Amino acid sequence: MFLSSLSFANFSVIPTVINVSGVPGSSYKNAYAVTSNFEMPVTVIVTLSNGNCFSENEGVDVNDWLKMETMEFNMNPGETVTVPYEVTINDKMKGSLCGRVKFSVDQSEMINLSISVPIYVIVEGTENINFEIESVDFAKGDRDENFYYKMLIKNTGNVHIRHSGQIQIFDSKKTKEIKVVNIEETVPTFCESSKIFIDSIGPLDEGTYVAVFTIKDLGKQATKEVKFKVEKDSIEKIKSFWEKLKAKWKEFLKIFQS
């Protein structure tokens, strides 16, 4: 379970993300910690909604497997309230499901504030873990000397994944490792969907390289090898060309307006 917090100036919820795994018939109990630092008493209303789920769970509603002990409570300034919940996995559930718990502050005549946090469930024994790196592209940053990758991950399984891994950068003949870039665990790629991830691999000298991407989660991994070129001079020439073209266009507009 991820124990991070989501907070605004006067209101916070811990944790922000919950991951539950279990077999059909099992249950999991815990609680949220909700803190109010408003200068006045407030009422908090809890609502549940369905999130991204495996398509075969279409008929399973979040209220079928997630129960909150209370759906409305009052809070005094500086108070922290414990809000218990229970997740129950039933025989109708397969792969993964997601529900969202929204805590809304009712401030009467003031603007209401809401915090929505997800609960992810994986039904053990029904998982189909299947993902791949579909494509990788590289580009130089517009405002720095770093090179960036754009990785498209395709998840054809029935559970969401939160991949981590690494990128090994080699020379053109793959005989010398130039650097290793870590890929930190990030937001989920939901089942039966694709997602693009963009991040930096740092600066590189001009030349040809081989990049080996390795990502992993839930006991499986996917790899992809890509050869790419770094041509700094060409990039700088293109940027210079466009800058000159913009300058000439501005001069033309001044003459036209006069």
pLDDT one-digit tens code per residue, 137-178:
998 877 778 889 999 999 999 999 999 999 999 999 999 999
Q: How far is the CA of 101 from the CAs of 14, 59, 97, 183, in angstroms?
A: 12, 19, 13, 29
**Residue 258 covered by a domain:** no
148 bridge partner residues:
139, 200
The contacts of residue 231 (CB under 8 Å, 6+ apart) are 206
Specify the DSSP class assigned to residue 218: T
Rounded CA separation 43/107 (Å) = 7
Task: State which residues form the domain around 170.
Answer: 131-235
Mean pLDDT for 127-141 is 93
Reported residue count of the chain is: 258
Rounded CA separation 52/187 (Å) = 13
CATH of the domain at 139: 2.60.40.10
Q: Is the pLDDT of residue 235 over 60?
A: no
Q: What angle do CA 88, 90, 29 make, to 5 degrees?
A: 10
Give the up-direction half-sphere exposure of residue 99: CA atoms within 13 A in the CB hemisphere.
24
Q: Which two tokens stand for residue 6?
A: 């989501």
Q: What is the pTM of this model?
A: 0.79
Same domain, 101 and 147: no
Helices (H), the chain: 62-65, 232-257
Same domain, 192 and 146: yes
**Residue 244 covered by a domain:** no
pLDDT one-digit tens code per residue, 178-213:
999 999 988 899 999 999 999 999 999 889 999 999
Query: Which of 123, 140, 161 is a domain's end point?
Result: 123
The contacts of residue 195 (CB under 8 Å, 6+ apart) are 152, 153, 155, 187, 189
**Secondary structure element (H or E) that encloses residue 223, with its range:** strand 220-230
Q: In which residue are the tokens 């070129």 written?
A: 229
Q: What angle do CA 239, 244, 249 make, to 5 degrees?
A: 125
Same domain, 149 and 101: no
Q: Is the pLDDT of residue 78 over 60?
A: yes
Q: Is the pLDDT of residue 233 over 60?
A: no
- Is 82 in contact with 124 (CB distance < 8 Å)? no
Q: Which residue has the higher pLDDT, 214 or 238?
A: 214
What's the number of domains the chain is made of?
2
Same domain, 22 and 112: yes
